[in-house]
Structure 1
């Protein structure tokens, strides 16, 4: 008996739908299925395939299902009936709860929600065509240590829905960090859109893929081997306490190394001493080392306590009991910069914490360059290529009935933001056609805020992508969560995933559950030019428009020259009036038009932020 891995212990079945339980066995075998006091039988076909339909399942559980032939018997236990949602996108959807503990520890430390489940789809790709079966995967409950591996956005989304309706929630987690939207779309659709034919043909060539991977692996190994062979710090054991740092230079931590003598590619060793009180000597402790560019190896008193191979994960290393001692201690960080200037990201925690006490590690450190190398280009991430994860991670789910989708993606498309709304509309079409359940609810998250260093005040890739996402609301049965107030200016992966999940849940309550509620912040609708001012009108104003924290900010206005300047903006009833003494004949307004729109403060009275927008027609 062969079953999809989705049909397994702990599964959540979609309520109020025609549910097909199918599998494969020997040819022309009678298959019997027992569930909820009923027994169903069918005959496998000439290929051994069989399918049995269950109708009108009501929420509840846990239940048990038995599937058998005269030769085999399979029992599936701990089954729930409720609502099933597919979680898609890239790293901010994938980000597990264990990456949010700095902010949300108190929210998640005691989670015990056996009626919230997550199925992790294996992260694989296939360029040859759609697959019919998953290559593994299993269900887990939101209990114990399992919780730490849940999608943080997904968990808080499910938690809000479960608290409201009391119906079990199943999450099918099928997100992959770094993936552009094209990776999640079908080949037919991308060829119809155009511009992808050459790449689609190339990645079907197994030999090309094999050689590229082989060359990348060799190039990476050669680079690191060369770095290690050249690194004087490794040869002289600079991670030990005995190293004389009197001739080392000084730097302030946190800091990045652009436009300094440390703007190199290679290894830089950073070291400082710190005092440990008697109360912390010998105790187990936690080291908070912010976020580093790019990789690091970190030592306390010569003991390696942690290492991370790339930029984005926050460094949270455990210091074993016995490593810290009373009095003088040392920390050494070997920072490896392969593609960009290294550094310690600002506005992050740099400290040691234990027993309710903290030791601050910010301030003056010593440093010395261990080795300088050539830059290392990134490998070819084939999971980012068009159609691959769609074929291997989406199409095999087609026969599993669901309630809808929750999508968080876009960062990897900011390099080419124009046209994203068209890609998104086609992705929704692909996914809905794959499931064959009509216009399934499709919830999506707009990009949050991030300081990308863009200098041109009139142009922002991230602002353009957000506006493309806003325009995507023309797709029927969709809802967008605006989260520019839930970001961190210095982190691509902000930790406040509770706000994100709960705002997606508001959209679900509206378009999937038909509830009457304010589920979105204000959305730009239209404008009028009146007496040298632009009057803006919005939908989703709820009980009314409001400015958080004083006067409205981040509005800019332009005339026919297209040069936007800061504007005065005020709320007048259900509209916003925007003007500037420097623009006598205005034509356009933008709001929160930056990668990091700090100060954006237009909300409705229900506390939901307005979406960034431009009145320009593209």
Structure 2
């Protein structure tokens, strides 16, 4: 028999082409190696393949069969399982997929803005022992990379993966969500999966779906407007920072003289004195947006010379480049990250050394944030960098229309811009509950937040279709300068909006007054934040009704003569004054709403408030400030009271 190899070759090509023309079965990013699936509920496993293709899912000794729909989607429901693992899942279609190391436990969807993003790496100096001991292979984290779209719902998430907790991987875990997961795991010994879907600087409206704005016409109309492609093309595009920095540097005297100002041979003549840390607006430079260079000479002992070192420059507003002995050792493009730069070996020398910091700032006070660490460390030895420096202005920015200071269209800040891409693709995945840490970006419009937070809760619950799934959120901590007289505060108003949302069923709020920092919107204490979230979850989601999970929460107020008697829930084992002999941060007002500081005492687990100058009181406020320093109403279980106002208009 004569074999026609040419014909066989052609037939083979045709078969291969036909096979390739069929889309192979594929899975969403979440359904992958190392995933944690929610226990005690039917599980949805889904994916895509060719229309009409047979798909078989084998899991835990059971087979689940389906056929792909005409739109290419398929899904199967897997029976509820108890916690355990690791397991393997086999998926057979035109191709074969194996998913390994699957755990069954509790899955929490953790979302919000930068304080939910903030990784353990950012707080590693605060928690070295926690990091060293972070060996929890049954705690898994899935971090969703940022992606946004205002007019199209994404089919799947950007590429990512599940990561098991060890002392290396944990540095990439969100700090608040890690400590939350760790406490739950330590108590219940059930695998914990964290899906971290959060983006720094984003407003709450970006996380709500189009349908979620049905009762909010301003935001709903904006969603409709953004669906107009022609309108989108007219919007100001995002800033090309690389190009703008290039243009700025063309006019910076520090880079365009005979010698650059970071050169060790440059002679710093007629520079001005500056006391570090501090802002240049507080040290004789008024209203300057631009580039300012700072310089310090210091002597280094011979025992520290030549060795690798760390440069800690606290926090800088806004962008900086740091040079040591003419060598660029680090740069940061915005104000929030702590400046921790590595100085390679061989750069530091015995005797005189020079540090030069170039700062660019376009709004507000530029400079070095007080109460932050400023030093060089070589092993256990340190050089304190606080004190007398020199400065010189390199460039003054001309703020004009069309310059680099503008607010371009950014999809991640628009209504539904993040829901479409970072929430919607997660909805098919079964979860235990939701943790939310956000609000800083909405403090300019706290009244809107009164409607937006309930809208988000309702919207997500409707989408997951799990009834009143547990929703736990962080009330904003203290931040910014302390004010010593009763005052108005957008941050206090937003906290009140968060407090009001407790009226929604199956919600819990953690109070974090005392955990913030006046000079940093990203406070380092994320362990107490995570522990309080876990405490709330223990009560709300794990039915631990005996546990005291909240501090005092305002319930009602009764006027008796010249006094107002305030009652609370969350009293626990009794109200108490924390670290003091008298209650502080209570203010009282008459019908005119002119608040004055009040006397306050605890009596019968209520707080009695008065001021002898206010004979007919109407309203009480507690901890009503951006940074209510000294707020000290707690319960005996060590949990702080929420700030509140009895004024129904707030």
Under TM normalisation by the shorter chain, which class is it?
Answer: over 0.9
Shift of 1:128: 1.7
Distance in 2, matches of 1:15 and 1:456, equals: 52
SS at match of 2:115: helix
Answering whether residue 235 of structure 2 is matched by residue 217 of structure 1, we say: no
Of 124, 128, 146, the match for 1:105: 128
Shift of 1:118: 1.1
Shift of 1:207: 5.0
Shift of 1:567: 1.0
Which region of structure 1 is more displaced relative to structure 2, 158-167 or 348-357? 348-357
Of 585, 610, 625, the match for 1:594: 625
Shift of 1:507: 0.9
Of 162, 165, 176, the match for 1:139: 162
Distance in 2, matches of 1:26 and 1:452, equals: 60
Distance in 1, matches of 2:205 and 2:640, equals: 29
Which region of structure 1 is more displaced relative to structure 2, 339-348 or 303-312? 339-348
1:248 corresponds to: 271
SS at match of 1:578: strand
Which region of structure 1 is more displaced relative to structure 2, 252-261 or 535-544? 252-261
Name segments (4+ residues, structure 1) moved above 6 Å.
Answer: 453-456
Answering whether residue 366 of structure 2 is matched by residue 377 of structure 1, we say: no
SS at match of 1:444: strand
2:508 corresponds to: 479
Answering whether residue 585 of structure 2 is matched by residue 564 of structure 1, we say: no
1:605 corresponds to: 636
Q: Do the aligned residues in 1 keep the contact of 2:132 with 2:167 (CA within 8 Å)?
A: no
Tell me the C-alpha RMSD between the 2 structures. Answer: 1.8
Distance in 1, matches of 2:206 and 2:239, equals: 22
Shift of 1:532: 1.2
Answering whether residue 347 of structure 2 is matched by residue 310 of structure 1, we say: no
Alignment of 1:401-412 (within 5 A): 401-412=430-441
SS at match of 2:218: coil
Distance in 2, matches of 1:452 and 1:210, equals: 41
Shift of 1:374: 1.6
SS at match of 2:250: helix
Shift of 1:263: 3.5
Which region of structure 1 is more displaced relative to structure 2, 103-112 or 343-352? 103-112
SS at match of 2:141: strand
2:537 corresponds to: 508
2:117 corresponds to: 94
Distance in 1, matches of 2:447 and 2:73, equals: 45
Cα deviation digits, residues 366-417 of structure 1 (max 9, x gap): 0111111123424423211111101111111111100000000111110010
Q: Do the aligned residues in 2 keep the contact of 1:458 with 1:563 (CA within 8 Å)?
A: no
Alignment of 1:174-253 (within 5 A): 174-210=197-233, 212=235, 214=237, 216-217=238-239, 220=241, 223-235=244-256, 236-253=259-276
1:279 corresponds to: 303
2:528 corresponds to: 499
Q: Do the aligned residues in 1 keep the contact of 2:482 with 2:627 (CA within 8 Å)?
A: no
Shift of 1:421: 2.5
Please say which structure displays the higher CA radius of gyration. Answer: 2
Shift of 1:445: 0.3
Tell me the matched-pair count. 615
Distance in 2, matches of 1:26 and 1:462, equals: 52
Which region of structure 1 is more displaced relative to structure 2, 179-188 or 81-90? 179-188
Q: Do the aligned residues in 2 keep the contact of 1:257 with 1:263 (CA within 8 Å)?
A: no
Answering whether residue 103 of structure 2 is matched by residue 80 of structure 1, we say: yes
Cα deviation digits, residues 307-363 of structure 1 (max 9, x gap): 000111111111111111122111100011122331101111111122212211000
Shift of 1:223: 4.2
1:158 corresponds to: 181
Shift of 1:423: 1.2
Q: Do the aligned residues in 2 keep the contact of 1:263 with 1:342 (CA within 8 Å)?
A: no
1:173 corresponds to: 196
Distance in 2, matches of 1:131 and 1:275, equals: 57
1:437 corresponds to: 466
Question: Against the structure 1 CA distance between its residues 501 and 21, is the aligned structure 2 distance closer, same or farther, given a 3 Å change threshold?
Answer: same
Shift of 1:455: 9.4
2:554 corresponds to: 524
SS at match of 2:181: helix
Distance in 2, matches of 1:276 and 1:357, equals: 11
Which region of structure 1 is more displaced relative to structure 2, 229-238 or 122-131? 122-131
Which region of structure 1 is more displaced relative to structure 2, 534-543 or 122-131? 122-131
Distance in 1, matches of 2:626 and 2:365, equals: 21
Cα deviation digits, residues 27-60 of structure 1 (max 9, x gap): 3333222222223333333444322221121111
Of 12, 20, 24, the match for 2:48: 24
Distance in 1, matches of 2:635 and 2:342, equals: 43
Distance in 2, matches of 1:192 and 1:249, equals: 57
Of 39, 42, 49, the match for 1:15: 39
Of 257, 266, 290, the match for 1:266: 290
2:609 corresponds to: 578
Of 145, 164, 189, the match for 1:122: 145
SS at match of 1:258: helix
Which region of structure 1 is more displaced relative to structure 2, 608-617 or 226-235? 226-235
Q: Do the aligned residues in 2 keep the contact of 1:227 with 1:266 (CA within 8 Å)?
A: no
Distance in 1, matches of 2:451 and 2:483, equals: 25
Distance in 1, matches of 2:328 and 2:645, equals: 51
Distance in 2, matches of 1:335 and 1:15, equals: 51
Of 390, 414, 426, the match for 1:397: 426
Shift of 1:123: 1.4
Cα deviation digits, residues 497-527 of structure 1 (max 9, x gap): 1111111111111111100210000001111
Distance in 1, matches of 2:210 and 2:439, equals: 20
SS at match of 1:82: strand
Of 499, 517, 520, the match for 1:488: 517
Which region of structure 1 is more displaced relative to structure 2, 45-54 or 346-355? 45-54
Structure 2: 5+ residue stretches without partners? 1-24
Question: Against the structure 1 CA distance between its residues 107 and 533, is the aligned structure 2 distance closer, same or farther, given a 3 Å change threshold?
Answer: same
Answering whether residue 498 of structure 2 is matched by residue 469 of structure 1, we say: yes
Distance in 2, matches of 1:200 and 1:22, equals: 29
Distance in 2, matches of 1:35 and 1:253, equals: 62
